[in-house]
Amino acid sequence: MSNFTIAALYKFVELPDYEAMREPLQAFCEQHNVKGTLLLALEGINGTIAGPREGIDAVLAYLRNDPRLATLEHKESWSEDREPFHRMRVRLKKEIVTMGQPNVNGQNAGTYVKPEDWNDLISDPDVVLIDTRNDYEVDIGTFKGAVNPETVTFREFPQWVQEQAREGGLLDKNRKKKVAMFCTGGIRCEKSTAYMKSLGYDEVYHLEGGILKYLETIPQPQSLWEGECFVFDERVSVGHGLVPGQYVQCRACRHPLTEEDRASVHYVRGESCPHCWDKITEEQRARFRERQRQVDLAEQRHEGHIGAKMDEQIRKRREEKLAQKEKSRQMAHELDQQKSK
């Protein structure tokens, strides 16, 4: 039985009262031992949470009790050996996925394609297949034949589209008519395909449920996916069947790291890696070093550090000390009784 159930969810829907939703939602998640990040904005909700099975079910039921979120869908995966998140955060944002295009409505997305039909679509030579994720995500895995826009953030994606839409570009309407897009869970594709439609592209498709649903659904022998899929939690990456992958994450730059990366002279746990060692200031390096020291100390005490609430840690330590004192007192009492006999 898995220790942690992970639920990735999003929905584009107007939430004019999203600011008022934050505190009750935060409290409810904490009450049910659920951790992760949920983003609230006028345009909807997005995020990933993890916790015990009953806690996740309770939070999903809480959200769907709102009529606007009654049809909210989610994707599940599991983690047995590590807690996916260290704290719970419900954050208010201008966009639930930041593209920087305020006139693009995610509810006007392209045509969904189910994982079972995805291979046929992307095998069509008339289709341009685009990975809408950021470069560090693409580095560790993508679909065979996919185009990498080499974006650092999703904000850069519209500019890349405009450049490729010019005469002779990959998205020149006189060359290719069909465009297929994919991302981790589907949300970025909702906006990217909506953006493409706003530019006049009619045949725009995206993978329903994203890469995660594809890896969960399609057996590896029939899969056109190559590598692993980056995920935004402590698993770092997953493979077919959503089995946790081989990567760990640099705590300085968040880049996924291979065993070879960790063997580099530029890799210092919690401080730097081959991807960022020459970009970090001495001030940042000192701060990362101290953070790692605190993490190590917390691990030695069998406590959480990242995201842990100090008052909770103090309470646990106090309880442990009291329990030890009570045990010593009881032993002394028993010893006195034996002597009196």
Q: Which residues are designated catalytic? A: 183
205 three-state secondary structure: strand
Closest CA to 73 of 183, 210, 193, 195: 210
Start-to-end C-alpha separation, the chain: 51
Tokens standing for residue 118: 């995805």
Contact 36, 84 (CB under 8 A): yes
Closest CA to 210 of 113, 290, 330, 278: 113
Closest CA to 42 of 68, 65, 23: 68
Q: Give the span between the Cα atoms of 41 and 110, in whole angstroms.
A: 22
Give the DSSP per-residue string, 221-252: GG--EEE-EE-SSTT-EE-GGG-B-S-EE-TT
Beta strands in the chain (DSSP E): 4-12, 35-41, 44-51, 74-79, 88-92, 111-113, 127-131, 141-143, 178-182, 203-207, 225-227, 229-230, 237-238, 248-249, 256-257
Altogether, the residues listed in the chain come to a count of 341
